Amino acid sequence: MKNRNFQMMLLLTLAVLVALASCKKDDDEQTETPEPSEYTIVDNGNGTGTTTWKAGKTYILEGMVFVNDGQVLTIEPGCVIKGKPGQGENASALIVARGGMIMAEGTAQNPIIFTAEADNLQGSVALKDRGLWGGLIILGKARLNSTPGETAIEGIPTSEPRGLYGGNDDNDNSGVLKYVSIRHGGTDIGEGNEINGLTLGAVGSGTEIEYIEVLANKDDGVEFFGGKPNLKHVIVAYSGDDSFDYDEGYRGFGQFWCAIQDDAAGDRVGEHDGGTDPETAQPYATPHIFNATYIGRGAGAGSRVITFRDNAGGHYANSIFVNQEKGIDIEMTPDAENSFNRFKTGDLTLQNNIFFGVADGTASGLFKVSFITGSSANPDSATAVQTFSGYFATAGNTVEDPGVTAANPVPSNAGGTMASYPDPWFANVAYKGAFEPGAANWAEGWTLTFASK
């Protein structure tokens, strides 16, 4: 243990020396020390400060590093951020606290990369290695449906106020994430909790999130805790757990989401929960997700496309779901409010989606009701199975081959009747799934999943 302390001291001393050296530069032009290409970032409670992480440099996160309330962290395109290994209190992560902002605007040519310290970006880490560091966590002031409307993010004790999220401002703005690739994260932060690739806790709709890759994260790819962030062009590949997860009343928009599961790992593609305590709290989870392409693990692997439970609602339309053992299930409980009831009241819709290679390909195999203990007491239980499977066809869902594979998610055929877009935020496209049939793959080049063009 002493070793570690010593190392930290050494690093701090180095950082101070570097700082001193750079101060000196202004006074004394002659003693010019070359700027280091690597910086180690340690948070002593003061956060990163309002600062810019430069293009071409590497920033190494040691432990949890916060962007505090009032601070703005700007990350230039091409900047590489690496997390040190370690679990629990030693887990490394970048956390944008409530009131803090991250301006991480990469480009397709120069994406911003978050990865493990051991990753030299030249293959020193295997493509699907998971859990080598923490992840990126953004916390905001939008609404949650949990009591008391404020929660501590998993793995950070409530005594750290910068780990709290939730508030009343659904339009809250935590900054910009664009062309950001998050790789090999998901280390254990305590008692069955791991860090998701990208965690969005009560993030507001003022935040811009577009062109995001989460690759080989040990826990979920992207997890939403309440809030109203809108995300376009997201690719989650080879997650150890779920690809997209939401809880505590997420209500944002999503378009062009692609999930590719590892055939030897991963749970659900979409794990969608409503509330926690009580599960029936408001606002209900009712995000709109259009043009998703979810590619599963295949038959025999036991995984599911999407589960809606704990009174979750949500709207999936114009999407493609392929290659999975189990389809979509919605939960029914003995109580009046549950995901099945969200479906009945129209808070949960699944319209004009294409399925292929999922379950047994029948409506009753693809759209299932999961009954939890005592559900038979619910007056709807007798007809729920028929009602929900009958909905498959009435809502324009089809079983047909869109010609999509994990290696090439661009469909050969993805037309048909389209559900209309609920908001001008959505691109009004006339195809299903995340990629335009026959067009170029938008993930190519800047992601590791589709590295080569």
Residue number, 375 or 447, with CB nearest to another protein? 375
Q: Which residues pair with 382 in a beta bridge?
A: none
Q: Does residue 428 bind another protein (CB under 8 A)?
A: no
- Interface residue with another protein, options 50, 370, 381, 398 (CB under 8 A): 370
128 binds another protein (CB under 8 A): yes
- 273 binding another protein? (CB under 8 A): no
Question: What is the rounded distance in angstroms from the CA atom of residue 399 to the CA atom of residue 384?
Answer: 22
**373 part of the interface to another protein, by CB under 8 A:** yes
For another protein, the closer CB: 92 or 447: 92
Q: Is residue 334 near another protein by the rule CB under 8 A?
A: yes
Residue 192 in tokens: 């069955």
Of 50, 74, 110, 280, the residue at the interface with another protein (CB under 8 A) is 280
Count of residues in contact with another protein, rule CB under 8 A: 66
Q: Does 142 bind another protein (CB under 8 A)?
A: no
Q: How buried is 338 (Cβ within 10 angstroms: 0-12 exposed, 13-18 middle, 19+ buried)? A: buried
364 contributes a contact to another protein by CB under 8 A:
no
- Residue 98 as a binder of another protein (CB under 8 A): the answer is no
* Binding map of another protein across residues 169-198, x = CB under 8 A, - = no contact: -------------------x-xxxxx----
Q: Which is nearer to another protein, 115 or 291 (CB)?
A: 115
Stretch that binds another protein, among 205-213, 332-340, 396-404, 406-414 (CB under 8 A): 332-340
Q: Which stretch binds another protein (CB under 8 A): 102-110, 295-303, 382-390, 392-400?
A: 295-303
Per CB under 8 A, contacts with another protein among 383-422 are: none
Could you tell me the smallest distance in angstroms from the CB atom of residue 266 to another protein? 8
Residue nearer to another protein on the CB measure, 113 or 152: 152
Segment interacting with another protein, rule: CB under 8 A, options 66-74, 212-220, 380-388, 445-453: 212-220
Residue 119 or 172 having the CB closest to another protein:
119
Contacts with another protein by CB under 8 A lie at 1, 3-5, 85, 87-90, 118, 124-132, 147-148, 150-154, 157-159, 164, 188, 190-194, 218-220, 240-241, 264-265, 267, 277-281, 300-302, 304, 307, 310-311, 333-337, 370, 372-374, 377
